[in-house]
Structure 1
Amino acid sequence: MRLAERIQKAWHDQAKWLIVLRPLSWLYRAVFLWQKNSKSKNAYRAPVAVMIIGNITVGGSGKTPLIIALVEYLQSKNIKVGVISRGYGGKGGGGKGVDGKGEFPLLVTLDSTPEQVGDEPTLIVQRTHVPMAVGPNRQHAIELLLQHHHVDLILSDDGLQHFALARDLEWVVVDANRGFGNEKLLPEGYLREPLSRLDDVTVIEHSAHPKTDLHMHLEPSTPYNLVDHSQPFNASLHYDAVVGIGFPLRFFKTLDDLNISYQKHAFADHHAYQASDFSTIHSQAIITTEKDAVKLKQLWHNDPEMLARVWVVPVQAVLSENVYQLFNDQLLGLNPNFKINLSHRPNS
């Protein structure tokens, strides 16, 4: 087991030995507060409204499905929305970018690959066709996006701790099943920010059994074949479950709920798959997430036989009525011209 995996397991188990990392957590807190105070003073403010969708923990919380749901909602109301992201895991597309490094920022298109722009941006654009730009410098990403697209609102995929970017709205997704562990900052715990940060943001509870009015859950549907979507899913087979997300236990729980028999193969979040990763996988059926599927599609783009073995579990973020109502109210506060468009929810 790799060090990163051991630490994540320790976080999940709330291992007592993590206390030895407390001095590093104190250092992290000091550096974090210094960066927050220094960067916030000269934060870049975009010419359009910016909404952050993030979390205060390391690992997945469900924010990407939430972003997809919000983008689709706004599109259904004819509101011009764009998305930016750091593009974690992407290496850029070459050429000279405005950051001077020759790689970022980069517009995400339907032809973009996870290797270029990251797995989550690839998935978001493939699902929604939304205008999107990626790059570690959010200001440059926004400037590039606005050079090519007219948008009324920008959603930032993550970036809650990117204090160099001013924001108008902040939503934080909290996975109720995962919780906050030992409630300690990195690296003793998996908090990026103190829990008090939740007092200043809109908290969306991710839970199938919520305790709050503002909540969401992920609803899976029948798995589809990566090559032939019309091929019926065979639930009686034994699958190799391949996953590289921040919280793989959520995916395995989904498979359990779907009564699917499987063997676990968990990799680190944003894992760049190689053929060697599958040297011990000999079954004829692989099942994975949509986020992982975009990378497997790239890995085996010249091997249709391997692609035909891959089955994908689609999920959709289902939001409570209170979330939509709050979203409407917040957007009306930003721009009263949204009022006609946001008077009703789209039909599900």
Structure 2
Amino acid sequence: MSVAQFIQDAWNKQAKWLIVLRPLSLLYKSASVLNKKLYVTGMKPVYTAPVPVMVIGNITVGGSGKTPLLIQLVGYLQKRNIRVGVISRGYGGRGPFPAYVDFDSLPETVGDEPCLIVQSTGVPMVVGANRQKNIELLLSKHELDLIISDDGLQHHALNRQLEWIVLDQNRGLGNQKLLPEGYLRESVDRLNTATVIEHTSSPQSELHMHLEVTQPYLLNPIQAFEFNPKQNFYALVGIGFPQRFYKTLESMGVMQFQCHEFPDHHDYEIEDLDFDDAGPIITTEKDAVKLLPLLKENPDYRREIWVVPVEAILSPACYSLLDEQLEQLGIQVN
């Protein structure tokens, strides 16, 4: 088990020994506050794009359902003829950056989530650490009404007009401590400064979402197999909060599976797909975009690999609020 996985497990269990990391959390807080102040006071430059920017992020480390939400919002905007583009840090990608993402882009170059977003929506997208350069490249290729920043809530060098924070109530806020004692990137007070979308099946507010499983499909359709939830699976996951995937499997009636966890944005090798028997693998769409190139490089690989797609289902209030917010920015919603 890697150090990252060890810490992640401790966060999820709210282990008492994490208190020894409090001095580091205080340092993290001090550095974060100082960094933000430098931007607010103008000592560091803040870039304002020529079109409105909407940031979709979270205050926690690890998965929150942000990517399915973004995909759903992009589809909603496209249907209403709003010209939308997306920028992202491109975690896990090696560049060079900024990099334009298209259907032929590889996860090892631009990151797994950008590949998934573009493959799902066809949205214009650029990735890289410098958000200004991302936006400039995006606008050099497209006329846009709105740019959505995938993550970047704590990237104060980029001015933004809208902020949506995804709060996964299933995972919660843990011990509500900042990194590394807890898994918060910012204090809980940050939730008071943005639009908060609850990710839960038991919402407490009008603004909420949940993930709905659609039909599993074979990543390598070597034969006309039908999905059988009663099989024994190898659950292969390299995401921020794998427990959510396990709960999804159980909701599908998949009760027999061995967990094989890897760090978030893991670069898979074909050896990661080898097990003692010929049992099928089951995985997420995010992992699938990294597994597919491996299968193309190894055409003789015969094990079934099932992918579980999910769709973000938003409450009507989310769409109503988005329409209001866009109209306030001068973006006409058809």
TM-score scaled by length of structure 1: 0.92
1:243 corresponds, among 237, 242, 258, to 237
Judge which range, 25-34 or 36-45, deviates more: 36-45
Task: Give runs of aligned pairs for residues 102-251 of structure 1, distance below 5 A.
Answer: 103-228=96-221, 231-251=225-245
1:285 corresponds, among 280, 283, 287, to 280
What SS is found at the alignment partner of 1:304? coil
| Structure 1 residue aligned with 2:313 | 318
Judge which range, 324-333 or 304-313, deviates more: 304-313
Distance 1:332 1:308, change over 3 A: farther
Q: Is the 8 A contact 2:89 2:127 kept in 1?
A: yes
| Structure 2 residue aligned with 1:344 | none
| Structure 1 residue aligned with 2:18 | 18
The answer to whether 1:70 aligns with 2:73 is: yes
Q: Is the 8 A contact 1:205 1:212 kept in 2?
A: yes
Partners of 1:111 and 1:299 lie apart in 2 by 15
Partners of 1:230 and 1:163 lie apart in 2 by 50
**Cα shift at 1:8:** 0.9
**Cα shift at 1:71:** 0.2
**Cα shift at 1:82:** 0.1
What SS is found at the alignment partner of 1:90? coil
Q: What amino acid does structure 2 have at the position aligned with 1:319?
A: L
| Structure 2 residue aligned with 1:38 | 38
Partners of 1:234 and 1:218 lie apart in 2 by 21
1:332 corresponds, among 305, 327, 330, to 327
Partners of 2:208 and 2:202 lie apart in 1 by 9
| Structure 2 residue aligned with 1:299 | 294
Partners of 2:98 and 2:114 lie apart in 1 by 13
Partners of 1:106 and 1:255 lie apart in 2 by 34
Count of paired positions: 329
Partners of 2:8 and 2:81 lie apart in 1 by 42
The answer to whether 1:254 aligns with 2:257 is: no
2:53 corresponds, among 50, 55, 68, to 50
Partners of 2:277 and 2:30 lie apart in 1 by 49
Q: Is the 8 A contact 1:297 1:307 kept in 2?
A: no
**Cα shift at 1:39:** 2.8
What SS is found at the alignment partner of 1:170? strand
| Structure 2 residue aligned with 1:98 | none
Q: What amino acid does structure 2 have at the position aligned with 1:161?
A: Q
Q: Is the 8 A contact 1:225 1:308 kept in 2?
A: no
| Structure 2 residue aligned with 1:96 | none
Q: Is the 8 A contact 2:100 2:127 kept in 1?
A: yes
Q: Is the 8 A contact 1:240 1:281 kept in 2?
A: no
What SS is found at the alignment partner of 2:234? strand
Judge which range, 77-86 or 219-228, deviates more: 219-228
| Structure 2 residue aligned with 1:346 | none
**Cα shift at 1:307:** 6.7
Partners of 1:122 and 1:54 lie apart in 2 by 18
**Cα shift at 1:299:** 1.7
Partners of 2:185 and 2:265 lie apart in 1 by 18
Distance 1:231 1:151, change over 3 A: farther
Q: Is the 8 A contact 1:300 1:307 kept in 2?
A: no
Q: Is the 8 A contact 2:278 2:303 kept in 1?
A: no
Partners of 1:89 and 1:281 lie apart in 2 by 29
What SS is found at the alignment partner of 1:83? strand
CA deviation digits over 1:262-286, x for unaligned, max 9?
Answer: 1111111111111232343533411
Partners of 1:35 and 1:307 lie apart in 2 by 51
Unaligned runs of 5+ in 1: 93-102, 342-348
**Cα shift at 1:305:** 4.2
Q: Is the 8 A contact 2:220 2:295 kept in 1?
A: no
Q: Is the 8 A contact 1:60 1:245 kept in 2?
A: yes
**Cα shift at 1:231:** 4.4
**Cα shift at 1:34:** 1.1
